[in-house]
Structure 1
């Protein structure tokens, strides 16, 4: 077998491999002979199908399969021989036809970059800390009550927390919307579903009230014809309903799987859930701090394919499920994707150099935490255990967590104590 390597780009390699055509012909003949003992064809007894017939019927298929197998095995040999570390499956090009007694193919792929010596001792990392308080538990229980509230119609004027059903039409300097009649809307006042001015206009009115108000619609208002414009709005209140929250009694508690309806058991369950969420959020923030510090400290070449894949994944998070992101959205994500891939490669190199091994107990713990959010946890665990790709992704995340903690233990790490709400609040909010 002959192997040559061409550096196409900083990380792109073109591997040319040649092997004797005799290897292909020998294996094709062997596989066809093996088929002769097992193949069943109409008009022939089992095991008595002539080789010429098998070659005529299946020769092209067998040749393709054997060629694919040979390319796979020789490529692995060539990559190992040249000490290359491909980051993805290569693009292979070949005619498959012998030339001068040899079959040649090319394999083009990107390789792992060269890494500098990574010394984390001088990295500045922030480790955030927080605890779940009784007030956090109270707040979560209130949220659970809100999720199970119902609304009763009332004859009084509306106030914050009420659901108001209303008809309206808005007239700007350009036109009236609706052009004819009224549009119906509804919202819980103070919930954030409507903007502040609309909430204020709807507050203090009872069912049957008709009135007008001057309102400035926000730039992001869902109706593009009103967004960013001032309008005179006419309203008709259809009905007002007050929210009714369930009591935190045994019946309410039993909705959450606490069979005896005991309040203390319920609070412990809520605390446990919040602590699991908090632990995951703190670890995510630590990992982000470590990744940013590493990416800023060590500049490395990053495989284009990995950046493109990461940018697409980031863009997908901004579009509805099943929809492809626009090219400009992917382009916008590319800078951030580059940083993320760079940090991920550095984290992987630290794991390799420090010989950090995957903590199987943590994998099981993470899997149990994921499964606990579904109605059939056992089924989720079964799916992960039977899907190598899902399990590999989970294991990679756990290893990244372990590396982040290792770096934080060996870097210049400062600790910052925050509240549960501050940790759980989305970035930028």
Structure 2
């Protein structure tokens, strides 16, 4: 078998493979003889069909099947022979396939980049430092109260924080547009769930009021037909409701699962949960900054095929989050940057692990699973589920390896500390995860 490889790009390779005709012809011959023993053709008894007839009837079909199989197997042989690591599947370009002729084909594919990690001694990483104050606990209790608010209809103009039930109909250039009409829809003023100006336009309206809103969809709106377009919404207010917050008392504590110790026990439980959330947020922000430093110091090429596979995964994840019944058909460009960063980071993390012979810390795995379980009502059941689920434990292993790589990066870097409030750190974490 003859193999030649051409570099057609930084990572793209064109590999031409030539397989001797004898190898193809012999396999075709063997397969046709095997078929002749059981072939059923009109006018002949089973197993008595002349080999010449079998060749005439099935020769071309078998030749193409064998050629396809040979191209796949010889592609793998050629990769091993040349020491190449393909990233993603190849595009096979076959030559002429004829009896007595060498089987020649070209495989176009990308390879994984070869690189050495850049030193990190000169990088600086800012470590967030946060303490939970009594004011933070008060704010969290207020948030929990708002989550358990009840709603009472009122006969007055709507205010920020109210819930408003509306019917609405949108038009673009005087014509209705898809998704622009709704009835008995509940809108919470100040939530930011509607496009800019919709919620603000309802402030001051009372039950029975009608109003036309002149609004513009954002330039980055997911529907190209509406992005950046000026529209009108005819809105009718059917009900305005104000929130009624529960008091912070023993009944409120009990509703949150704290049945003994009253308000002080509730505050202590809230503090513990916030400290756990704080630690997770601090670790997530620090990991994001460490990985960003790793990326900046190692601007390597990444295989486009792997990026496209990651785009598919991200698009499917979003589809799953929004529900299988909604086919948004979002543009692939929406996921390109995030997909490329994930692929690049995966390659760099893998190289750090290999270059430093980092082994998964089993104690850290146990600690991580226990910390995850501690956030649930029945930690023991969660622990049992994790330890009985290989896929879940594989995810834990990946997280622990990432933490160990983060530690390796931080050991190389110069660390500075900066204080943040609890809310600021949570916002930082959300930005890091976006």
| Helix, strand or coil at the partner of 2:84 | coil
RMSD: 5.8
Length-normalised TM-score, structure 2: 0.64
Task: Work out whether 1:355 is the aligned partner of 2:352.
Answer: no
| Helix, strand or coil at the partner of 1:89 | strand
Length-normalised TM-score, structure 1: 0.65
Change over 3 Å in CA distance of 1:2–1:244 after alignment to 2: same
Partners in 2 of 1:131 and 1:406 — Cα distance? Answer: 26
Note the alpha carbon deviations across 1:152-182, whole angstroms, 9 max, x for none: 234577655443557899xxxx99x9xxxxx
Partners in 2 of 1:412 and 1:316 — Cα distance? Answer: 39
| Helix, strand or coil at the partner of 2:243 | strand
Contact residue 67 and residue 103 of structure 2 kept, 8 A: no
Partners in 2 of 1:75 and 1:362 — Cα distance? Answer: 42
Partners in 2 of 1:21 and 1:202 — Cα distance? Answer: 81
Contact residue 5 and residue 16 of structure 1 kept, 8 A: yes
Structure 1 residue 12, shift from structure 2 partner: 0.7
Partners in 2 of 1:49 and 1:418 — Cα distance? Answer: 86
Contact residue 113 and residue 301 of structure 2 kept, 8 A: yes
Contact residue 120 and residue 297 of structure 2 kept, 8 A: no
Q: 1:427 aligns with which of 404, 425, 431?
A: 431
Structure 1 residue 80, shift from structure 2 partner: 2.8
User: What is aligned with 1:77?
Assistant: 77
User: What is aligned with 1:87?
Assistant: 87
Note the alpha carbon deviations across 1:394-421, whole angstroms, 9 max, x for none: 7555533432221112222223232221
Note the alpha carbon deviations across 1:190-244, whole angstroms, 9 max, x for none: 54568789759845x8767x7999x9968759993359xxxxx9x9975543322
Structure 1 residue 120, shift from structure 2 partner: 1.6
Q: 1:325 aligns with which of 307, 321, 330?
A: 330
Contact residue 365 and residue 400 of structure 2 kept, 8 A: yes
Partners in 1 of 2:305 and 2:269 — Cα distance? Answer: 44
Change over 3 Å in CA distance of 1:252–1:291 after alignment to 2: same
Structure 1 residue 369, shift from structure 2 partner: 3.9
User: What is aligned with 1:283?
Assistant: 283
Change over 3 Å in CA distance of 1:252–1:18 after alignment to 2: farther
User: Which stretch of structure 1 is more off in the superposition, 119-128 or 73-82?
Assistant: 73-82
Alignment gaps of 5+ in structure 1:
42-47, 178-182, 228-232
Task: Work out whether 1:126 is the aligned partner of 2:126.
Answer: yes
Partners in 2 of 1:8 and 1:152 — Cα distance? Answer: 69
Alignment gaps of 5+ in structure 2:
41-46, 177-182, 220-225
| Helix, strand or coil at the partner of 1:292 | helix
Change over 3 Å in CA distance of 1:284–1:59 after alignment to 2: farther
User: What is aligned with 2:113?
Assistant: 113
| Helix, strand or coil at the partner of 2:330 | coil
Change over 3 Å in CA distance of 1:166–1:292 after alignment to 2: closer
Structure 1 residue 144, shift from structure 2 partner: 3.6
Q: 1:225 aligns with which of 231, 247, 250?
A: 231
| Helix, strand or coil at the partner of 2:89 | coil
Structure 1 residue 121, shift from structure 2 partner: 1.6
Structure 1 residue 424, shift from structure 2 partner: 1.4
Give the total of aligned pairs.
400
User: What is aligned with 1:417?
Assistant: 419
Change over 3 Å in CA distance of 1:86–1:271 after alignment to 2: farther
* Counterpart mapping for 1:24-423 below 5 A: 70-94=70-94, 97=97, 102-132=102-132, 135-154=135-154, 161-164=161-164, 187-192=187-192, 202=203, 224-226=230-232, 239-246=239-246, 258=257, 274-309=274-309, 322-326=327-331, 329-330=333-334, 341-359=343-361, 365=368, 369=372, 385=390, 396=398, 398-423=400-425
Contact residue 25 and residue 100 of structure 2 kept, 8 A: no
